[in-house]
Amino acid sequence: MTTSEAESGAMRRALHLAATPGVPLGPNPRVGCVLLAADGTTVAEGFHRGAGSAHAEVDALASAGEAARGTTAVVTLEPCNHTGRTGPCSEALVAAGVRRVVFAQADPNPVARGGADRLREAGVEVVGGLLADEAGAVNRVWSFAMEHRRPFVTWKFATTLDGRSAAADGTSRWVSSRAARLDTHRLRGLCDTMLVGTNTVEVDDPELTVRDELDDPVPFQPLRAVMGLRELRSDRRVLNDRADTVRLRTREPREALEQLFAMDRQYVFLEGGPTLARAFLAAGLVDEVVAYVAPMLLGAGTSAVADLGITTIADARHLRVTDVHVLTGHDGEDTNVRLTMTPHPPTLSSRRH
């Protein structure tokens, strides 16, 4: 079953609506919907504004009222077939008399999927896959979490040109520039969980909040998660009241992610030290790497990642660079380079380590 030019245009508009500024990145997907009349003109539009609010289809149907009967609903995600805080969108579309539904991305959530089949059973024409890749990009992290049943993990670190995250005496404050630190807070604001180990908390005493004079303050602070068995001193800043904190009493990365996923967390920003980084890398649980590289040399000090057990170049862990960005301060001298990378799947030999 084909789609029309009007439906393609409406899908692009729905994608724009889904990405409306201010709409949370989780825990629900961002979704847009456009209702088209038989002649291809727009009857109504809608989008989802976050957990607990009307879904995009219901938002558009409410705007259309009786005019929704006989329309085509163009929606960025397969209508849900699940009753949660709101009812199933598939049932709402059937009740409103919608004639045809065109959706982009099939719902990867096993709890909510099945809306397309329900619509077809009710006699509604259904077409899926229109601009599916573009729709998947709108909900990159959410889609990953639903498909893999664990949070997406970004490992962030700052390093000198020779791979040192701190000097020999443990000082690390100026490895990254102010511009890089501001950028880090911007990225922190996109995640829902900041994860470190107990050693980082004891040694560095980070607060793990989003701050540092961002132009657009975040509407909420990410959850602070501390992984490990060691008890923490009560004066640690991660335990203050500026954000919620959870203890993950395990040394196993996969178990930690399972606990966070059970809390409806989908995006983990890993900012722990080299030992925690090694554990997640060894477990194959790093999905993205963001490195801030400073134009300086130390020659000694703490490495960005602990020993991975690699003894030959053939077993090196390779990453694919997806973005390179130069961050320069107002004086033109405070410069770091941000590298965004995706780990390649490990080779057979590296899986043995």
| Residue 212 main-chain phi, psi, to 5 deg | 70, 45
- Report the half-sphere exposure of 293 (CA within 13 A, side-chain side): 12
Q: What angle do CA 181, 182, 187 make, to 5 degrees?
A: 95
Q: What is the mean pLDDT of the chain?
A: 91
Pairing status of strand 72-77 against strand 32-36: antiparallel
Percentages helix, strand, coil for the chain, rounded to the nearest 5? 30, 25, 45
The CA-atom distances, in angstroms, between 316 and each of 127, 311, 344, 345 are: 45, 8, 11, 11
Longest Cα separation, the chain = 72
- For the residues 212-236, what does the mean pLDDT come to? 85
Residue 324 CA to chain centroid, in angstroms? Answer: 19
Per-residue burial over 258-277, b if 16 or more Cβ lie within 10 Å, else e, is ebbbeeebbbbbbbbbbebb
Full-model pTM:
0.88
Check residues 103 and 176 and name the one with the higher pLDDT: 103
- Enzyme catalytic residues: 57
Model confidence band, residue 272 (pLDDT cutoffs 50, 70, 90): confident
- pLDDT tens for residues 129-172? 999 999 999 999 999 999 999 999 999 999 999 999 888 887 76
Check pLDDT > 80 for residue 322: yes
Check residues 84 and 312 and name the one with the higher pLDDT: 312
Give the integer Cα–Cα distance in Å for 237 and 226.
Answer: 12
Domain boundaries, the chain: 5-145, 151-352
Check pLDDT > 70 for residue 56: yes
pLDDT of residue 168: 86
Which DSSP letter does residue 289 get?
A: E
Rg of the chain, C-alpha, whole Å = 23
Model confidence band, residue 44 (pLDDT cutoffs 50, 70, 90): very high
Cβ(225)–Cβ(256) under 8 Å? yes
Residue indicated by tokens 């201010």: 22
Give the amino acid at 307: D
Comparing 1-5, 49-53, 327-331, which segment has the lowest mean pLDDT?
327-331
- pLDDT tens for residues 231-251? 999 999 999 999 999 999 999
Q: Which CATH class is domain 5-145?
A: alpha beta
| Record: fold of 151-352 | Dihydrofolate Reductase, subunit A (3.40.430)
Kind plus residue range of the DSSP H or E element containing 158:
strand 152-160
Check pLDDT > 50 for residue 344: yes
Q: What angle do CA 188, 200, 317 make, to 5 degrees?
A: 75
Q: Where are the beta strands (DSSP E) in 185-334?
A: 193-197, 223-227, 245-248, 267-270, 288-294, 302-303, 319-328
Beta bridge partners of 267: 152
Cβ(3)–Cβ(72) under 8 Å? no
Check pLDDT > 90 for residue 347: no
Residue indicated by tokens 């029309």: 4
